[in-house]
Amino acid sequence: MAGPSPKPRRIEPQSQPLRLGHLLHTPNLLTLCRLISIPFLLVLLSERRFTYALYLFGAAALTDGLDGTVARWFDAKSELGAFLDPFADKLLLVSAIVALTVYQLLPGWLLGVIVIRDVITVFGYFMLSWFTNERIPVRPTFLGKTSTFLQLLCVLAALAQFNLMGPMYFMILLYATVAACGISGLQYMYRGLVLLSSREPELFS
Protein backbone atom coordinates (compact mmCIF):
# COMPACT_ATOMS: atom_id res chain seq x y z
CA MET A 1 0.00 0.00 0.00
CA ALA A 2 1.40 3.29 -1.03
CA GLY A 3 2.12 5.79 1.69
CA PRO A 4 0.75 9.30 1.79
CA SER A 5 1.90 11.46 -1.06
CA PRO A 6 4.41 14.07 -0.04
CA LYS A 7 3.14 17.59 0.35
CA PRO A 8 4.11 19.87 -2.50
CA ARG A 9 6.89 22.22 -1.61
CA ARG A 10 5.82 25.80 -1.18
CA ILE A 11 7.91 28.05 -3.33
CA GLU A 12 8.57 31.33 -1.56
CA PRO A 13 8.34 34.31 -3.87
CA GLN A 14 11.70 35.88 -4.44
CA SER A 15 12.01 39.62 -4.48
CA GLN A 16 13.08 40.91 -7.83
CA PRO A 17 15.95 43.36 -7.83
CA LEU A 18 15.07 46.90 -8.71
CA ARG A 19 16.31 47.56 -12.20
CA LEU A 20 17.02 50.82 -13.91
CA GLY A 21 14.33 50.11 -16.46
CA HIS A 22 11.73 49.93 -13.68
CA LEU A 23 12.73 53.37 -12.49
CA LEU A 24 13.13 55.17 -15.79
CA HIS A 25 9.79 54.49 -17.40
CA THR A 26 7.98 57.29 -19.21
CA PRO A 27 6.30 59.12 -16.28
CA ASN A 28 9.53 59.20 -14.28
CA LEU A 29 11.47 60.35 -17.33
CA LEU A 30 9.09 63.30 -17.68
CA THR A 31 9.61 64.12 -14.02
CA LEU A 32 13.39 63.90 -14.41
CA CYS A 33 13.19 66.23 -17.42
CA ARG A 34 11.41 68.71 -15.17
CA LEU A 35 14.22 68.47 -12.62
CA ILE A 36 16.91 68.85 -15.30
CA SER A 37 15.20 71.98 -16.64
CA ILE A 38 15.62 73.85 -13.33
CA PRO A 39 19.31 74.88 -13.71
CA PHE A 40 18.68 75.96 -17.33
CA LEU A 41 15.73 78.02 -16.15
CA LEU A 42 17.86 79.71 -13.50
CA VAL A 43 20.55 80.51 -16.06
CA LEU A 44 17.99 82.12 -18.38
CA LEU A 45 16.57 84.13 -15.49
CA SER A 46 20.04 85.26 -14.39
CA GLU A 47 20.62 86.58 -17.92
CA ARG A 48 17.14 88.15 -17.90
CA ARG A 49 16.04 86.21 -20.96
CA PHE A 50 12.49 86.11 -19.68
CA THR A 51 10.87 85.08 -22.97
CA TYR A 52 13.00 81.94 -23.26
CA ALA A 53 12.51 81.29 -19.56
CA LEU A 54 8.76 81.53 -20.13
CA TYR A 55 8.90 78.89 -22.87
CA LEU A 56 11.06 76.58 -20.78
CA PHE A 57 8.95 76.95 -17.66
CA GLY A 58 5.77 76.40 -19.66
CA ALA A 59 7.19 73.21 -21.16
CA ALA A 60 8.32 72.00 -17.74
CA ALA A 61 4.90 72.75 -16.25
CA LEU A 62 3.29 70.83 -19.13
CA THR A 63 5.25 67.70 -18.19
CA ASP A 64 3.67 67.93 -14.74
CA GLY A 65 0.29 67.16 -16.22
CA LEU A 66 1.65 64.63 -18.70
CA ASP A 67 3.48 62.36 -16.26
CA GLY A 68 0.41 61.81 -14.09
CA THR A 69 -1.78 61.21 -17.11
CA VAL A 70 0.67 58.74 -18.65
CA ALA A 71 1.03 56.92 -15.33
CA ARG A 72 -2.75 56.49 -15.08
CA TRP A 73 -3.28 55.50 -18.70
CA PHE A 74 -0.56 52.85 -18.76
CA ASP A 75 -0.85 51.84 -15.11
CA ALA A 76 2.78 52.83 -14.60
CA LYS A 77 2.50 54.24 -11.09
CA SER A 78 5.46 53.64 -8.78
CA GLU A 79 6.65 54.65 -5.33
CA LEU A 80 9.57 56.48 -6.90
CA GLY A 81 7.21 58.45 -9.09
CA ALA A 82 4.94 59.25 -6.14
CA PHE A 83 7.97 60.79 -4.39
CA LEU A 84 9.68 62.44 -7.37
CA ASP A 85 6.62 64.13 -8.87
CA PRO A 86 5.70 66.45 -5.96
CA PHE A 87 9.41 66.98 -5.20
CA ALA A 88 10.09 68.13 -8.78
CA ASP A 89 6.99 70.34 -8.77
CA LYS A 90 7.95 72.07 -5.56
CA LEU A 91 11.61 72.49 -6.51
CA LEU A 92 10.69 73.96 -9.89
CA LEU A 93 8.17 76.38 -8.38
CA VAL A 94 10.28 77.51 -5.45
CA SER A 95 13.38 77.98 -7.65
CA ALA A 96 11.44 80.11 -10.11
CA ILE A 97 9.68 82.16 -7.42
CA VAL A 98 12.93 82.80 -5.52
CA ALA A 99 14.69 83.95 -8.70
CA LEU A 100 11.77 86.16 -9.76
CA THR A 101 11.66 87.67 -6.27
CA VAL A 102 15.37 88.48 -6.48
CA TYR A 103 14.79 90.25 -9.81
CA GLN A 104 11.76 92.05 -8.28
CA LEU A 105 9.25 90.53 -10.67
CA LEU A 106 7.37 88.97 -7.75
CA PRO A 107 6.88 90.50 -4.28
CA GLY A 108 8.78 89.15 -1.30
CA TRP A 109 5.64 88.59 0.75
CA LEU A 110 4.42 86.02 -1.77
CA LEU A 111 7.64 84.04 -1.40
CA GLY A 112 7.45 84.35 2.39
CA VAL A 113 3.93 82.93 2.59
CA ILE A 114 4.77 80.04 0.25
CA VAL A 115 7.99 79.11 2.07
CA ILE A 116 6.41 79.32 5.55
CA ARG A 117 3.46 77.21 4.45
CA ASP A 118 5.68 74.57 2.85
CA VAL A 119 8.07 74.40 5.82
CA ILE A 120 5.20 73.97 8.29
CA THR A 121 3.55 71.34 6.09
CA VAL A 122 6.72 69.27 5.59
CA PHE A 123 7.72 69.59 9.25
CA GLY A 124 4.23 68.58 10.34
CA TYR A 125 4.29 65.55 8.05
CA PHE A 126 7.57 64.25 9.47
CA MET A 127 6.45 64.94 13.05
CA LEU A 128 3.18 63.08 12.40
CA SER A 129 5.07 60.10 10.92
CA TRP A 130 7.43 60.10 13.89
CA PHE A 131 4.69 60.24 16.52
CA THR A 132 2.54 57.53 14.89
CA ASN A 133 5.50 55.46 13.64
CA GLU A 134 3.67 55.06 10.33
CA ARG A 135 4.23 56.09 6.76
CA ILE A 136 1.45 58.55 6.16
CA PRO A 137 0.17 58.62 2.55
CA VAL A 138 0.30 62.03 0.92
CA ARG A 139 -3.02 62.98 -0.67
CA PRO A 140 -3.17 66.51 -2.04
CA THR A 141 -6.43 68.32 -1.38
CA PHE A 142 -8.37 70.37 -3.90
CA LEU A 143 -7.17 73.55 -2.19
CA GLY A 144 -3.60 72.28 -2.30
CA LYS A 145 -3.83 71.63 -6.03
CA THR A 146 -5.47 75.03 -6.53
CA SER A 147 -2.62 76.70 -4.64
CA THR A 148 -0.03 74.97 -6.82
CA PHE A 149 -1.91 75.94 -10.00
CA LEU A 150 -2.10 79.58 -8.91
CA GLN A 151 1.61 79.60 -8.12
CA LEU A 152 2.28 78.34 -11.64
CA LEU A 153 0.12 81.15 -13.01
CA CYS A 154 2.03 83.70 -10.92
CA VAL A 155 5.34 82.56 -12.39
CA LEU A 156 3.97 82.52 -15.95
CA ALA A 157 2.41 85.97 -15.50
CA ALA A 158 5.65 87.39 -14.09
CA LEU A 159 7.73 85.94 -16.92
CA ALA A 160 5.26 87.33 -19.45
CA GLN A 161 5.61 90.76 -17.80
CA PHE A 162 1.87 90.72 -17.13
CA ASN A 163 2.41 92.96 -14.12
CA LEU A 164 3.21 95.78 -16.59
CA MET A 165 0.26 95.07 -18.91
CA GLY A 166 -2.44 94.46 -16.30
CA PRO A 167 -1.21 95.42 -12.82
CA MET A 168 -4.65 95.22 -11.17
CA TYR A 169 -5.33 91.68 -12.41
CA PHE A 170 -1.79 90.68 -11.50
CA MET A 171 -2.33 91.82 -7.89
CA ILE A 172 -5.64 89.94 -7.75
CA LEU A 173 -3.79 86.80 -8.86
CA LEU A 174 -1.15 87.33 -6.17
CA TYR A 175 -3.74 87.82 -3.42
CA ALA A 176 -5.71 84.77 -4.58
CA THR A 177 -2.50 82.70 -4.53
CA VAL A 178 -1.66 83.80 -0.99
CA ALA A 179 -5.20 83.06 0.18
CA ALA A 180 -5.24 79.58 -1.38
CA CYS A 181 -1.76 78.87 -0.04
CA GLY A 182 -2.66 79.89 3.52
CA ILE A 183 -6.04 78.13 3.61
CA SER A 184 -4.62 74.91 2.14
CA GLY A 185 -1.86 74.99 4.77
CA LEU A 186 -4.47 75.28 7.54
CA GLN A 187 -6.41 72.43 5.93
CA TYR A 188 -3.34 70.17 5.96
CA MET A 189 -2.72 71.07 9.61
CA TYR A 190 -6.33 70.22 10.47
CA ARG A 191 -6.09 66.87 8.68
CA GLY A 192 -2.88 66.06 10.53
CA LEU A 193 -4.40 66.90 13.92
CA VAL A 194 -7.47 64.78 13.16
CA LEU A 195 -5.26 61.84 12.16
CA LEU A 196 -3.09 62.26 15.24
CA SER A 197 -6.08 62.43 17.59
CA SER A 198 -7.53 59.23 16.10
CA ARG A 199 -4.43 57.18 16.92
CA GLU A 200 -2.38 56.70 20.02
CA PRO A 201 1.08 58.12 19.38
CA GLU A 202 3.85 55.52 19.39
CA LEU A 203 5.76 57.71 21.84
CA PHE A 204 3.19 57.16 24.61
CA SER A 205 2.18 53.56 23.85
pLDDT digits over 22-51, tens only? 445 566 777 788 889 999 999 999 999 999
Q: Are 57 and 156 in contact (CB under 8 A)?
A: yes
pTM over 0.85: no
CB 175 within 8 A of CB 116: no
65: left (phi over 0), alpha (psi -120 to 50) or beta: alpha
Most confidently predicted of 85-89, 96-100, 123-127, 194-198? 96-100
96: nearest Cα among 30, 46, 133: 46
SS3 of residue 154 by DSSP: helix
Q: Where are the domains of the chain?
A: 25-104, 106-205
132: Cβ–Cβ under 8 A, 6 or more apart, which residues? Answer: 195, 196, 199, 201, 202
